[in-house]
Structure 1
Amino acid sequence: MPLNDYDADATELLETYDFLMKYIIIGEAGSGKSCLLHHFIHNAFKDHSQHTIGVEFSSRTIKLGEKRIKLQLWDTAGQERFRSVTRSYYRGAAGVILVYDITNRDSFLNLSRWLTDARALASTHLVAVLVGNKSDREDEREVEWAEASRWAAENDVHFLEASSLTGDNVEAPFLLAARSILLSIESGALDPEKAGSGVSYGDRALRRVNSSSLLSFGSLSHSRKRRSDKIRLKNWVPANKCC
């Protein structure tokens, strides 16, 4: 391995962050959860993806304003036979990415069950983002954007559509959830030191939340080696707002 690769690995190990947040990615099998997460982590489509068995773990550090946030990302299996196993990973989650396939109506019709389980087992301040995946397959659409938007408004979740194939809007759900969680911390509604909150302070925060220092969300960009992305919130519907 070249020396500069060793240096890069060492930098990752020494990486500091302000907050650590736990997310779960849930939804029916075949909705594209793993592909969505893979594109978010690696900035590339995952070829030859297979159904997740049980739970798979990933992580990534993002930047919101001046805050660096490390995301613990738990990708759960959508098959019924794994439900008893995957539900145990819901506990203590601060954010949930709820995924359905816009070309598969059944994956949309079962959303309520997934969301109910998450809210029953995760943090009481759980932030949910609904993602209509495979937006690149418009000709095969079975779930209209307006219908999903209404469901999201009725269930108090954020909503957007994305494509794990093209990468369109893949970053947005993870950043939206983090931003909502940070705002809850700043308002005092969420205490990172409370057990089960799904959030904890990182070394960079030194266990301080400076109320005089406002969180800046003027830029939803993040720091990653060798590339700079712009986040597009295309067709995003915030919680409590419909079309």
Structure 2
Amino acid sequence: MDGGSGCVTKKYKLVLFGDAAVGKTSLVLQFVKGNFSNEPQEATIGVAFQSKIVCLQDSTVKFEIWDTAGSARYQGLAPMYYRGADAAIVVFDITNEDSFTKAKTWICTLQTQVKKSIILALAGNKSDLKYHKSVDRQKIQEFVEENDLVFMETSAKSGNNVTNMFLSIATKLVAQEKEKKALEDQASSSGHNTTSTTNTTTSAAVAADTLVDDNEVDGMSDGCCCCCCILL
């Protein structure tokens, strides 16, 4: 699909996980629609779907966003949603230590159950309530570094870092795809060179055999001349 600027629009499946009431749906709505409701959000039942196109410097990305329910009774459905995901954002509430513990569990699950190339991000949401923060920054940082995660403190209410989070993931996905293509091109080129080398070696061997045969013929001709001289 053309994004309108000559770039092909690349589609990626992105799934959000996290405990109930950490602000997953609010993050998605802030990113997709640019708004935040002060009214309490209705709990997501099963999963909610949104999509949004973002433009990078040389690429256009369409996110297909699956916002999963945080309620424990829906967690058995999670494998159905994260199967085939290209990226995932695990959300926790910076004012709720237990939500961070649940987030770590989600990260571990995704690391073991989803393809290795998945981009994993951790969002410490409700940064507008930083004065009520209860999750230790050092603990978060250590976990992020140990698991090579994209991490940002976000606020669905103010919009702080929400777009930046999704753009960071988009950038990583595009870079990953470019790296994969470069490796495939390199492998294809190496295979072509190997074939060419094999063909060249075979041709050289055939030429060498031909040269040996010619020398043998020359040797036989010389012998005949000698014989003729003796007979004369």
Same fold (TM over 0.5): yes
83-92 vs 144-153, which moves further = 144-153
1:117 shift after superposition: 2.2
Determine whether 1:141 maps to 2:164.
no
114-123 vs 127-136, which moves further = 114-123
Change (3 A) 1:87 1:190: farther
Determine whether 1:181 maps to 2:173.
yes
Measured in 2, the distance between the counterparts of 1:111 and 1:121 equals 15
TM-score normalised to structure 1 length: 0.69
Measured in 1, the distance between the counterparts of 2:164 and 2:128 equals 16
1:172 shift after superposition: 1.4
Q: Do 1:97 and 1:173's aligned partners in 2 also have CA atoms closer than 8 Å? A: no
- Alignment equivalent of 2:66, drawn from 63, 69, 74: 74
Measured in 2, the distance between the counterparts of 1:81 and 1:116 equals 20
In the TM superposition, what whole-angstrom CA distance separates every residue of 1:141-192 from its partner, at most 9, and x where no partner exists? 101333211111111111110100000111112111111111111111799x
**1:63 matched residue in structure 2:** 55
**1:36 matched residue in structure 2:** 27
Determine whether 1:97 maps to 2:97.
no
Larger RCO (CA under 8 A, 6+ residues apart): 1
SS in 1 for 2:127: coil
**1:53 matched residue in structure 2:** 45
SS in 2 for 1:110: helix
Q: Do 1:184 and 1:190's aligned partners in 2 also have CA atoms closer than 8 Å? A: no
Identity, in percent, stands at 32
Aligned residues: 178
Pairing 1:64-213 to 2, within 5 Å after superposition: 64-188=56-180
Pairing 1:7-22 to 2, within 5 Å after superposition: 17-22=8-13
Measured in 2, the distance between the counterparts of 1:189 and 1:130 equals 27
SS in 2 for 1:167: coil
**2:14 matched residue in structure 1:** 23
Structure 1's unaligned 5+ residue stretches are: 1-11, 192-243
Q: Do 1:27 and 1:78's aligned partners in 2 also have CA atoms closer than 8 Å? A: yes
SS in 1 for 2:167: helix
1:80 shift after superposition: 1.0
If you compute each CA radius of gyration, which structure gives the higher value, 1 or 2? 2
The two structures, once aligned, show a CA RMSD in angstroms of 2.1
Q: Do 2:59 and 2:174's aligned partners in 1 also have CA atoms closer than 8 Å? A: no
Greater share of residues in helix: 2
In the TM superposition, what whole-angstrom CA distance separates every residue of 1:5-35 from its partner, at most 9, and x where no partner exists? xxxxxxx9xxx84200000011111111000
Measured in 2, the distance between the counterparts of 1:92 and 1:73 equals 13
TM-score normalised to structure 2 length: 0.72
SS in 2 for 1:78: coil
Measured in 2, the distance between the counterparts of 1:37 and 1:185 equals 24
Measured in 1, the distance between the counterparts of 2:153 and 2:14 equals 19
